[in-house]
Amino acid sequence: MITLAGIIGSGKSSLTQLLAEELNSTPFFEPVEDNPVLPLFYKGNEIAAKKRQAGDKDATNPYAYLLQTFFLNRRFMMMKQAMQQKNNILDRSIYEDAMFMKMNTDMGNATAIEYATYQELLGHMLTELKLASPTNNADLMVLIKVSYDTMIKRIQKRGRDYEQISTDPSLVDYYQRLLRYYDEFQANYQLSELLIIDGDKYDFVENSADRNHVLDLIEDRLVTLGNLSKTQANDLKEKRYN
């Protein structure tokens, strides 16, 4: 199982699709377009930020816990499906979901009780996944690192109103804080092999040379892990370059 990780706008979904096509595998995408809670969450963030500015230090986002449990439920289902075959691709990890819940709790968007309940639920899910397959942890985590400026440009390009800093200025602090949490996530992640992709340097969506280089990096790591043979990797490269 290959899992993509990265902040909003880093290119996870695009690279997930590219990898699935390259490896002739099944992609599992984060539920965004069919997620009825996500717009509510962003609106709740804006409301909570305004209340805090007005002096209500205990203001929470009423949709934070709902959103994170929505994602957790979907991610759990996708991981169970992805475990059934080899080299399936997930475009976000269940471990990132836990990071988002922690950040929302630290920010005051969720309560300590909600966080404890979420952690208990996550623990039960991970135990079930481990019982279902002793090797359930992602064989490879691919973390796409991008800067704040790159993230904002890509958010603007895809055009979801509720993600725009021009619509909600409080998102500037939210996004910058999120980058710091991703740095901590990267530093502490030990659950599988980790490959870092420089998303500022390599435009694997628009630039074919960059795309080939990134796919080479991932396939070389899969060879090292024993998930691809050298012959398979060479055949894939030959097909792409020719």
Instruction: State yes or no: 47 annotated in a binding site.
Output: no
Of 177 and 132, which is predicted with more confidence?
A: 177
Q: Residue 200, exposed/middle/buried by CB under 10 A (0-12, 13-18, 19+)? A: middle
How far is CA 215 from each of CA 60, 203, 237, rounded to the nearest angstrom?
42, 12, 9
- Residue 218 has a pLDDT of 96
Q: Cβ neighbours of residue 106 under 8 Å, at least 6 residues apart? A: none
- Residue 224 has a pLDDT of 92
Whether 235 is a known active-site residue: answer no
Instruction: State yes or no: 85 annotated in a binding site.
Output: no
- Residue 131 has a pLDDT of 66
User: Per residue in 95-106, is it b (16+ CB within 10 Å) or e — as a string?
Assistant: bbbbbbbbbbbe
Q: Residue 54, exposed/middle/buried by CB under 10 A (0-12, 13-18, 19+)? A: exposed
Catalytic pick among 56, 91, 198, 203: 91
CATH label of the domain that carries residue 202: 3.40.50.300
State the Cα–Cα distance between residues 205 and 214, nearest whole angstrom: 10
Instruction: State yes or no: 8 annotated in a binding site.
Output: yes
CA pseudo-torsion sign 154, 160, 162, 166? positive
DSSP letters spanning 69-124? HHHHHHHHHHHHHHTTSSS-EESS-HHHHHHHHHHHHHHTSS-HHHHHHHHHHHHH
Of the candidates 59, 10, 61, 22, the one whose C-alpha atom is nearest the C-alpha of residue 216 is: 22
In the chain, the number of structural domains is 1
Question: Which token pair is 83?
Answer: 């475990």
Which tens digits make up the pLDDT trace of 179-238? Answer: 999 999 999 998 889 999 999 999 999 999 999 999 999 999 999 988 889 999 999 999
Which tens digits make up the pLDDT trace of 105-159? Answer: 998 889 999 999 999 999 999 888 876 665 545 589 999 999 999 999 999 988 8
Instruction: State yes or no: 163 annotated in a binding site.
Output: yes
Which tens digits make up the pLDDT trace of 64-78? Answer: 999 999 989 988 988
The residue segments making up the domain with residue 38 are 2-241
Instruction: State yes or no: 157 annotated in a binding site.
Output: yes
Q: Cβ neighbours of residue 102 under 8 Å, at least 6 residues apart? A: 115, 181
DSSP code of 241? H
Instruction: State yes or no: 7 annotated in a binding site.
Output: yes
Instruction: State yes or no: 158 annotated in a binding site.
Output: yes
Sheet arrangement for strand 140-145: 27-28, 89-90, 2-6, 140-145, 193-198
State the Cα–Cα distance between residues 89 and 82, nearest whole angstrom: 7
DSSP code of 163? G
Confidence of residue 32 (pLDDT cuts 50, 70, 90): low
For 125, other C-beta atoms within 10 Å of its C-beta total: 18
